[in-house]
């Protein structure tokens, strides 16, 4: 029996049940296997593997998807360097995705100026807070941050 109950952070995206994947990874760890993406991929190569269906096995299609992911990473990793004061410099995302599921990116300033995009960004921020809380809620040194996030989420 599995030690934990598993679910995906994004529902409806994966073809296989999260419990199956979680138990598979848990089982590998119990056998002393250090699970990396490469190890999981290798374990998924066999067509009888429950995770086989999660991967694109046609090399031509997979190569194009990989290049699209590289292009997405280029867009997502661009940062704008802002100087508010002489000694104060910070970086912010240059481009952010907009709603519609088409991987369209616009400058952050444009997104902040349009209500639909701004609301989408706020929803993403709330999702990011939920993820942060799930990962770090029990880290004592981050209590002030996690408490503030929890309070924000309760009123939003």
Tell me the pLDDT tens digit for each residue of 85-122: 666 677 777 788 888 767 788 888 888 999 999 999 99
On whether both 38 and 97 belong to a single domain, the answer is no
Residues 121-137 as b or e (16 or more Cβ within 10 Å = b): beeeeeeebeeebeeee
Judge if 124 and 80 occupy the same domain: yes
Q: Is the pLDDT of residue 48 over 80?
A: yes
Q: Are residues 32 and 78 in the same domain?
A: no
Residues 47 and 86 in one domain: no
Whether 125 and 106 map to the same domain: the answer is yes
Distance CA 150, CA 132 (A): 10
pLDDT score, position 131: 93
pTM, full prediction: 0.61
Is residue 90 located within the same domain as residue 35? no
- Looking at the structure, do residues 66 and 134 belong to the same domain, yes or no? yes
| Whether residue 39 is found in the same domain as residue 87 | no
124 and 136 part of one domain: yes
Token pair in block for residue 44: 């998924």
User: Domain ends where: 12, 32, 55?
Assistant: 55
User: At which of 19, 39, 55 does a domain end?
Assistant: 55
Position of tokens 């429950």?
50
pLDDT tens by residue, 16-30: 999 999 999 989 998
What's the total number of domains in the chain? Answer: 2
Q: Which domain holds residue 92?
A: 59-155
Cα dist from 29 to 38, 52, 55, whole Å: 14, 19, 22
């Amino acid at each position: 029996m599995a030690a934990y109950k598993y679910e995906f952070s994004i529902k409806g995206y994966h073809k296989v049940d999260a419990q199956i994947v979680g138990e598979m990874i848990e089982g590998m760890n119990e056998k002393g296997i250090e699970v990396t993406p490469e190890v999981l991929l290798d374990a998924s190569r066999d067509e009888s593997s429950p995770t086989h269906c999660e991967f694109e096995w046609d090399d031509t299609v997979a190569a194009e998807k990989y290049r699209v992911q590289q292009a997405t990473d280029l867009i997502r990793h661009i940062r704008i360097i802002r100087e508010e004061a002489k000694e104060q410099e910070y970086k912010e995302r240059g481009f952010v995705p907009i709603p519609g599921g088409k991987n369209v990116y616009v400058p952050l300033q444009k997104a902040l100026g349009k209500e639909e995009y701004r609301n989408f960004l706020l929803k993403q921020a709330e999702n990011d807070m939920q993820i942060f809380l799930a990962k770090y809620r029990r880290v004592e040194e981050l209590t002030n941050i996690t408490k503030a996030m929890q309070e924000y989420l309760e009123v939003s």
